Amino acid sequence: MKPLISFFSSSIGKKMVMGLTGLGLIGFIIAHLLGNLLIFCGPKALNTYAQSLKDLGGLLWVARAGLIGIFVLHIFSAISLSRANRAARPAKYKVKKSVVASVASKNMGVSGSFILLFVIGHLFHFTLGKIQPEFFNLVDPAGRFDVYKMVVHGFQEKIVTIPYVFALILLGAHLSHGISSFFQSLGINHPVYTPLIKKIGPILAIVITLGYLSIPVAVLSGILKV
Ligand code: HEM
């Protein structure tokens, strides 16, 4: 147990935790996007999907607890690594080099902090119904929680949609760098896969961002309506 603790307290161990938890979060982000895109198949498809998640009952809570755990570990390892990096670099560089723009780079910290704020706001909005409560308790003709109407009504209000668009673009930037540096975080330097993942990172990030952005854009342009 002790060697395990000291490994995860080391800089290499923390980088590994950050890389692996990042992978878990990307898995959630892709799965959540695929679920959300069902909105384009109509209210029945999205509400049935949301209901099937709710029907998981206790299992859903296990998944939620796992997700929170992964999220917390990701944030803690990021903060801890960036502190360690700063401590090892007391004097400011005269020329800002991209070498420091790695896992704990300043931009990752800024975008990551905004994403955290976004996720908290998003939970208050769509999971707890505290932001637009008038759209939260809607029920569809089959008696299910009307997620479709909640999302469409929600994004019809620009004051809600603009922060979403801003956060989603920041998420894209965060993912682009995060995915590209995944192997670096794990300490893997493969002659083929490392350069490949560096190329794939930005592309995957753009696809994910455009996928998420398509929902508020479709609502504001009237493609999705109630
Ligand atoms: C257009 C963008 C998005 C839409 C329309 C959307 C929609 C939703 C909805 C409807 C829920 C509530 C599900 C329910 O309780 O039935 C939800 C929950 C959630 N969303 Fe999103 N989401 C979006 C973007 C994101 C992003 C970018 C993230 C993460 C970075 C995210 C993370 C979460 C989390 C963590 C939950 C809570 C899951 C749970 O309680 O089981 N969402 N989202």
pLDDT at 14 over 80: yes
Least confident of 2-6, 131-135, 181-185, 221-225: 2-6
CA of 211 to the centre of ligand 1 (A): 13
Q: What is the mean pLDDT of the chain?
A: 91
**Structure tokens belonging to residue 165:** 């668009």
Residue 16: strand pairing partners: none
CB atoms within 10 A of CB 103: 21
CA of 205 to the centre of ligand 1 (A): 17
Tell whether the torsion through CA atoms of 188, 191, 196 and 199 is positive or negative.
positive
Residue minimizing CA distance to atom 31 of ligand 1: 119
Mean pLDDT of 7-15: 88
Residue minimizing CA distance to atom 40 of ligand 1: 127
| Closest atom, ligand 1, to C-alpha of 64 | 41
> Model-level pTM?
0.92
Count CA atoms closer than 13 A to 225's CA, side-chain side: 4
CB atoms within 10 A of CB 215: 22
Residue minimizing CA distance to atom 13 of ligand 1: 127
Model confidence pLDDT, tens digit, residues 109-166? 999 999 999 999 999 999 999 999 999 999 999 999 999 999 999 999 999 999 999 9
Domains and CATH numbers, the chain: 2-87+102-220 (1.20.1300.10)
User: pLDDT grade, residue 92 (50/70/90)?
Assistant: low
Least confident of 26-30, 44-48, 102-106: 102-106
